[in-house]
Structure 1
Amino acid sequence: MLSGVGTKESWRKEVHRPATSTHKWWAKRLGTVFRGIITSAATPAGADAAGAYGSSLDLEGAVVLDPFSGSGVTGVEALKAGAKAVCFDINPVATLVQRQAIQPWDLGSLEAAYKEVESACRSEVDRLHCAEDGRTVLYYFWVAALGCPECSRKVHLFDSPVFSKNAYPKRVPKAQIVCPECLSVKESRYDFVAETCSNGHTISQRGAVRGQSATCGNGHSFKVLGALNGSPPVYEMYAKLVANSDGSKSYEAITDWDRALYDECVAMLAELSQSAVLPSSRLAPGNNTDQALKWNFREWRDFFNARQLISLSLIATAIRDLTGSAPEREALCALFSGTLEFNNLFTSFKGEGTGAVRHMFSHHVLKPERTPLEAHPWGTSQSSGAFSTLFKSRLRRAHEYKRKPVDLVDRGAGIERISGVSKPVGTSIADSWEAFVSSEGQAAYVATRNSAHMDIPDGSVDLIITDPPYMDNVHYAELADFFHAWLQHMQPYVGYSDATTTRRVGEVQHADPVEFRKAIEAVWTESARVLKPGGLLAFTFHQARISGWVQVVESLRCSGWVVMAVQPVKGEMTTSVVKAGSREPSNLDSVVVCRRAVDGATNPHSSAEEALAAVIRELTDLRDAQVDIGAGDIRSVVRGALLAYLASTGVDLDDSATAQVDFLATESIQKLLGSDSGSGGR
């Protein structure tokens, strides 16, 4: 039931759970899953947890803690169930996102603050995004250019001359193409064979770039990174998409007017007041920043062109200078920060028939774009990813959801959106445990802190629900610094970090398994301390590498926890861009349910075979319910269940044990899918 409901939510998280979608956060979990975990934990043994999921919950007085709070999913679902929520995260950007998910806004004050910002900056932002005849330019198209190291001939780094086509090109074949030689543009088809530009150059389907290499017009091939000469790429405008008075849009070539207007932005940037908001910090080496550093992006301001910096600075400065209406000003700070994701040199054009801007974190990495898209950051009704459009789609939608939550419920005949089973979300945020416990009714304690060191007294929490970071892959702090470089100068709320980075000692995420285990074990130990006797810890987890599962299971054992169950459940959207590039894309998470050994908990299985049989039954039920399951999902869930059982028996999880676990995982893949997917990640 839960996976079916979760599947529907995963397609449009921002619609079904808008309170936690006001700003980007990575690996955001499904609210339906966390509502299900809370419901199951609060349902007495033998009672109908599935029925309780679709009914009103009343956990008044219960305290639910999330030590890795991320976007605040646990906090919102706890408050909707009537409980009190404690949301900790070591990253201040995550804390900002959680605060928007939980605290109420006065809609009148929010609208007034928005209008004040608009009055202060919109006319100038509009002026910097207009054609010579005054029409609004929605998007500018840019391309990186390099000189061939052998002959110095300029090379425009297109992989294809087709720069705009419909999302369904066979249905709508019309496309826009650019001449890679002179940058003239013309209308054609997405599958054209050859064209001639207005200057007489032949345009073929193939661009200059293939993979990491490029070929100049004289036939010399070279590595793109090797030709950068220590500086970020140089970009050239070649087209614009203009809004016409009749509501249509036109693709047009760049003119001298456009170039002069951009040059004016360059001059304005050089003269910008020192008091204006601009990013100032530098990138530090890291798993996710190294790719940008290889392209010679050294400072966060390098991620923007001059017009973007001027326009965004105008908006950010106007928001920073707002007085009064603290929660509403904070919401606009978060909204501006979210707008950055769609307005930088790492975005690209998705095409016609869909949202135009492919945001910079579509791959969860800092991937430089050779053909970036520059959008109008304030935007119009025809825009995508702009401050004005996100105000409507994010803040207004979140406000309505918090006021009257809507849940997805399977009534048997189908999944419905219903209201009335959850309490409204909206509480002032306590800044200490003392203030939190003295609050009556709905309450939330949200703070930026290392959860290995909490200010919560022993035995004070009823339930711990969380989603810990991956051991590797997406390093949240490295990516969050992109937003923080602006936010640190805006100070969205009193106490927001003014440090130059969000990286912190004690971060759990670490590519080194030993360091990962050390950090997460410290959090599990502290969590065991603050939990009430008989309480429960449940968290979602998916890990491609078996070493990640080993470290999590060992850390739980050493910190006094016993794994009672590893249950597969729907995870992220199956067709996400991130998953599309994965060898074994994940569709499921594992819900790991734990109790404290000191409370007398023991693993319920008497043998590894019994533990394996239990998890195979769970996976089979999901498969039979038409939930997509891949080899990577089976591998991860089976590894978790078997390693948890072995840890409960005191077995050393060495290479011999993990090899046997992997053998059984591969057998399980064959049993469930009828094929062998290989050895998988180690």
Structure 2
Amino acid sequence: MTPIKSPKKLIEVALPLDDINVAAAREKSIRHGHPSTLHLWWARRPLAAARAVIFAQMVNDPGYQRELGYGVNKKEAEIKREKLFDIIRELVKWENTNNEEVLQRARDAIWESWRETCHLNRNHPQAAELFNPEKLPAFHDPFAGGGAIPLEAQRLGLESYASDLNPVAVMINKAMIEIPPKFAGQKPVGPLPAGEKQQNMMEDWSGAKGLAEDVRRYGHWMREEAFKRIGHLYPKVEITPEMVAQRPDLKAYQGEELTVIAWLWARTVKSPNPAYAHVDVPLVRSFVLSSKKGKEVWVEPVIDGDSYHFEVRSGEPTIDAIQGTVVRSGGTCILSQTPISFKYIRNEAKDDRMGLKLMAVVAEGKSGRVYLSPTPNIEAIAKSAKSDRFTETEISHWPGRTNVVEYGMTKFLDLFTQRQLVALTTFSDLVQEAREKAIADAKKAGLADDGLGLAHGGKGATAYGEAVAILLAFSIDKMADLGNSLVRWEPVAQCPRQLFGRQAIPMVWDFAEANPFSTSSGAWTTFVEGQSKAFAKSFLNVQPWFEGNATQADAATQSISSHKVVSSDPPYYDNIGYADLSDFFYVWMRRSLKTIYPELFSTMAVPKVEELVASPYRHGNKQGAETFFLNGMTKAMSSMAQQSHPVFPVTIYYAFKQSETKEDTTTSTGWVTFLEAVIQAGFSIDGTWPMRTENSSRMIGQGSNALASSIVLVCRKRLITADTISRRDFQRQLREEMPEALEAMIGGETGQTPIAPVDLAQSSIGPGMAIYSKYAAVLNQDGSRMSVHDALILINRAISDYLNPDGGSFDADTLFCDDWFAQYGWSAGAFGDADTLARAKGTSVDGVHSAGVIESGSGKVRLLKWSEYPSDWDPRDDSRTPVWEACHQMIRALNQQGEAAAGALLARMPEQGEPIRQLAYHLYTLCERKKWAEEARAYNELIGSWHAIVAASHDTGHRDEQIGLEL
């Protein structure tokens, strides 16, 4: 068989990782105009990371000729590689997302590499099939999810295919890559809303601006129509003289009718006290409505015998108001102070005895919110709404993720009040009416009609009307997310907060019911305007020649990947129940869009049986879930390995934290099972890159074992001729190759920003697994195949050995401090134990004490915390400076004075830089394994700021040199 000549790609050799990570981290804080705002999806990859990965996956590394036997000038290769780096540096910037000049440079580089590759393989028997120099290979993401990766492939000029088992994900991808190119440059066809005038007859309708504008126009029409039908359920509140008499602060509004922003409700249960068993008592997390300084507002339950009512108060809230009536241990009856257990609440809820009581009304004022006490009439109007239950789709209960089921909310429609259901169903019905109007208007505007809808490849008036309807249906989903009975009122921002603040459907006691006819959070116009702007900005550069296709397909059995470039972000073991959560949106999407995509919405709920998530409740137990995940993921990875284009590596994102610590080795079932699947599928892991794809607020110290980085695995199909090696040879290769790889990761001499300690153990899996996975098998002494789990143990051990101060050239005082810290932390220990340890390390307690890092007296010895170190310390005046002291002085300077001060300190002891970093990594690992979160944070922050500290130290050194010259 004639071998395919496959040049190494840039991603297999080098990347400007700092620039990619800075851009990806910045992007996480961008909301306006970001494609992610079109529809919620969980765990999206940043566009910057996806764009950089695909580009580097497709361009040849300039040094590839050496590998293929061609002569090459190493210096010239480095210059060319730097030019590719410059393209990436520009490509990942948020402001260049739609910059055609920058994008075209990237496309040109991809084409140049592709034509080189085609030329190399011009005589291959499959040249006509695989190496057409006039057409780039297409792209496929088999776990497309939120669509970031397929979108960026399309932006780089590739025909983009996205597939997912989940219909909600498929619809998101259709809106991202399939629909915009069909109508690029199309002028809006809908009539302007009443009162608006055409701004400019020659207005620019390039990209998706015209379609976005029609979404706004038809969305406005829907709002007016909905108000005609259900506006009576959302009356304004008149400020009467009687109200002003009780609340002088309302005088400025007397006689006015104010638009309501939200109604604030409390859930209720019958009091467990027999004397008050007939009273529905409130369950409230907090009665505080506004915590803004100087504008505090709260609700007071006014008790009158065996009844109560709510009144709005202003000023400093009471302790009872702040605490509410529900805490972690349970609730309290406001009438009798009788405890209310959660078991009692759950039983009441399941027996349909949980009710609602209006606590307050929030209205739009002249310069802020106006809080009003509830009235029986306002509450009665709200409760008068009655809605048909159009679906009985059940919530799949995943303990800890869908706790509402424990409180009787077993079906998705149970999550909404009757008035919310009336509003959502009304707007949902209007989506279909807007579709019909848009089709008719498109025909009137002269848009040709082929009579085909989007599902059949239509591009005319019918398809255009359906495109408008799809984006309006996305607004329905946004409305559902902010228009359900699990929406909290945020007292700082003074607005409702959407249900999906995290990947769960948690129970909420008091909630905000937003008014869809206001102009604030939760209002229909807010959703539609935001949707229109986001769509227009996200697809400014969409071209008619862009090709995209989104399909429902099981990643384990799909055949779409054939001869395509593949990059994907598969599910993270049991981290997110995508199907369970997206049913929340599916029931609304199905109602609005089933006529457009009948096959996609043929089921009552999102398919779950084949979903590759390790869910114990679906598969009987943890072992069953693990087996299912391994088998399914292996099939999916095998599909990628066998079908993907042979000259391109496959890139796979994974961000599941190693979380199980046993015998000083940290692993996790999720990682082990995933890597096992990748390797069993026939992949070798040829490279790994830690990319800043997660929200930094989820870093250590937040109480969650979260990563700041995803690991991008660069995979090639393992050679059929791959050998087997022994366990001993594997360990030898780890000893020989891991130190260099780790040195590169923590910064070394490369000048690259080091990987944060919180990510090091995860990132370091790559080099170790690259060794393990390139062989057909690693054999144990008894001839059995070494498992991924055992390989990870050895890889993690190699990491620990590298970081261990005993393995380096650390001073004796530091070695003593390290061992003492591992045993006692910051607590005191016996002098005798300290004396024994100090002798073993080649130092003495008195010597360590003279170094200024311990407190010794009364038969006890204790390490000083960094905060106890003197702030006027200067290493140039210190005759005994252990690395331990230098490291903790750096932490003190960073925390108390900032990066500039830490840099100035480092400038006085530059020779200590590398040992300080290595010690910080080691101590972070030690603290993490001992679950000392606060201590770990200090070391993580030191490394996280290292690049800036070094830069500041160079600035200080330069200034000192200048001063020296002047003197």
Give TM class, smaller chain: 0.7 to 0.9
Aligned to 2:422: 310
Say if 1:85 and 1:457 are closer, same or farther in 2 by CA, change over 3 A. closer
Contact in 2 for aligned 1:10/1:30 (Cα 8 Å) = yes
Deviations 1:183-231 (A, max 9, x none): 42333445x446xxxxxxxx55432222141222434323224333224
Specify which of 588, 604, 607 is matched with residue 500 of structure 1: 604
Matched, 1:340 2:480: yes
Aligned to 1:6: 24
Aligned to 2:288: 162
Contact in 1 for aligned 2:655/2:709 (Cα 8 Å) = yes
Matched, 1:75 2:146: no
Aligned to 1:179: 301
Q: Which residue identity does 1:527 align to in structure 2? A: M
Aligned to 1:447: 551
CA distance in 2, matches of 1:375, 1:587: 34
Q: CA deviation at 1:116?
A: 3.4
Say if 1:373 and 1:645 are closer, same or farther in 2 by CA, change over 3 A. farther
Q: Which residue identity does 2:28 align to in structure 1? A: S
Deviations 1:590-638 (A, max 9, x none): 11111111488999x982242464245324489987788353x233223
Aligned to 2:504: 365
Q: Which residue identity does 2:571 align to in structure 1? A: P
CA distance in 1, matches of 2:547, 2:56: 22
Q: CA deviation at 1:395?
A: 2.8
Contact in 1 for aligned 2:259/2:518 (Cα 8 Å) = no
CA distance in 1, matches of 2:518, 2:742: 50
Aligned to 1:285: 397
Deviations 1:158-201 (A, max 9, x none): 233323323xx5xx5623333385342333445x446xxxxxxx
Contact in 2 for aligned 1:19/1:399 (Cα 8 Å) = no
Q: Secondary structure at the match of 1:250?
A: strand
Contact in 2 for aligned 1:164/1:349 (Cα 8 Å) = no
Q: CA deviation at 1:147?
A: 2.4
The gaps in structure 2 that reach 5 residues or longer are 1-18, 63-80, 91-101, 111-134, 181-207, 239-256, 440-464, 616-624, 659-667, 725-729, 779-785, 804-917, 932-967
CA distance in 2, matches of 1:11, 1:627: 22
CA distance in 1, matches of 2:404, 2:342: 14
Q: CA deviation at 1:287?
A: 5.0
Where has structure 1 moved over 6 Å in runs of 4 or more? 599-603, 621-628
Say if 1:378 and 1:664 are closer, same or farther in 2 by CA, change over 3 A. farther
Contact in 2 for aligned 1:639/1:661 (Cα 8 Å) = yes
Aligned to 2:174: 99
Contact in 2 for aligned 1:611/1:645 (Cα 8 Å) = no
Contact in 1 for aligned 2:226/2:427 (Cα 8 Å) = yes
| Identity score, percent | 17
Specify which of 443, 446, 466 is matched with residue 568 of structure 2: 466
Aligned to 1:115: 220
Specify which of 241, 244, 259 is matched with residue 362 of structure 2: 241
Q: Which residue identity does 2:139 align to in structure 1? A: V
Q: Secondary structure at the match of 1:481?
A: helix
Q: Secondary structure at the match of 2:551?
A: strand
- Equivalent pairs counted in the alignment come to 616
Deviations 1:89-121 (A, max 9, x none): 110001111111222252454344323322321
Specify which of 921, 927, 934 is matched with residue 672 of structure 1: 921
Q: Which residue identity does 2:281 align to in structure 1? A: V
Q: Which residue identity does 2:427 align to in structure 1? A: I
Deviations 1:543-563 (A, max 9, x none): 124221111211111111110
Contact in 2 for aligned 1:125/1:378 (Cα 8 Å) = no
Say if 1:135 and 1:580 are closer, same or farther in 2 by CA, change over 3 A. farther
Q: Which residue identity does 2:711 align to in structure 1? A: S
Q: Which moved more, 1:115-124 or 1:612-621?
A: 612-621
Aligned to 2:542: 425
Q: Secondary structure at the match of 1:143?
A: strand
Aligned to 2:951: none
Q: Secondary structure at the match of 2:53?
A: helix
CA distance in 1, matches of 2:670, 2:680: 15
Q: Which residue identity does 1:372 align to in structure 2? A: F
Q: Which residue identity does 2:611 align to in structure 1? A: E
Say if 1:616 and 1:174 are closer, same or farther in 2 by CA, change over 3 A. farther
Aligned pairs for 1:376-387 (under 5 A) are 376-380=515-519, 383-387=520-524
Contact in 2 for aligned 1:79/1:442 (Cα 8 Å) = yes
Say if 1:188 and 1:664 are closer, same or farther in 2 by CA, change over 3 A. farther
CA distance in 1, matches of 2:506, 2:216: 35
Matched, 1:395 2:545: no
CA distance in 1, matches of 2:59, 2:679: 26
Aligned to 1:530: 643
Q: CA deviation at 1:531?
A: 1.1
Q: CA deviation at 1:286?
A: 3.3
Aligned to 1:349: 489
Matched, 1:635 2:761: yes
Aligned to 1:409: none
Contact in 1 for aligned 2:688/2:711 (Cα 8 Å) = yes
Q: CA deviation at 1:51?
A: 1.3
Contact in 1 for aligned 2:745/2:755 (Cα 8 Å) = no
Q: Which moved more, 1:107-116 or 1:24-33?
A: 107-116
Say if 1:483 and 1:225 are closer, same or farther in 2 by CA, change over 3 A. farther
CA distance in 2, matches of 1:315, 1:114: 10
CA distance in 1, matches of 2:431, 2:701: 38
Specify which of 204, 221, 236 is matched with residue 131 of structure 1: 236
Say if 1:157 and 1:581 are closer, same or farther in 2 by CA, change over 3 A. farther
Q: Secondary structure at the match of 1:587?
A: coil
Normalising by structure 1, report the TM-score. 0.83
Structure with greater helix share of residues: 2
CA distance in 2, matches of 1:338, 1:579: 31
Structure with greater strand share of residues: 1
CA distance in 2, matches of 1:379, 1:131: 10
Specify which of 603, 613, 619 is matched with residue 509 of structure 1: 613
Contact in 2 for aligned 1:534/1:599 (Cα 8 Å) = no
Q: CA deviation at 1:528?
A: 1.6
Normalising by structure 2, report the TM-score. 0.59
CA distance in 1, matches of 2:571, 2:614: 9
CA distance in 2, matches of 1:363, 1:62: 37
Aligned to 2:899: none
CA distance in 2, matches of 1:315, 1:472: 35
Aligned pairs for 1:179-328 (under 5 A) are 179=301, 182-189=308-315, 192-193=317-318, 203=320, 205-217=322-334, 218-229=336-347, 230-231=350-351, 233-244=354-365, 246=366, 248-265=368-385, 268-269=386-387, 272=388, 278-286=390-398, 290-321=402-433, 322-323=435-436, 324=439, 325-328=465-468
Q: CA deviation at 1:128?
A: 2.1
Say if 1:680 and 1:635 are closer, same or farther in 2 by CA, change over 3 A. farther
For the aligned residue pairs, the C-alpha RMSD in angstroms reads 3.1
Q: CA deviation at 1:478?
A: 0.1
Matched, 1:548 2:670: yes
Contact in 2 for aligned 1:155/1:208 (Cα 8 Å) = no
CA distance in 1, matches of 2:569, 2:169: 13
Aligned to 1:607: 733
Contact in 2 for aligned 1:142/1:236 (Cα 8 Å) = yes
The gaps in structure 1 that reach 5 residues or longer are 195-202, 404-423, 428-440
Aligned pairs for 1:31-42 (under 5 A) are 31-42=47-58
Say if 1:124 and 1:622 are closer, same or farther in 2 by CA, change over 3 A. farther
Q: Which residue identity does 1:300 align to in structure 2? A: F
CA distance in 1, matches of 2:161, 2:226: 38
Q: Secondary structure at the match of 1:240?
A: strand
Aligned to 2:443: none
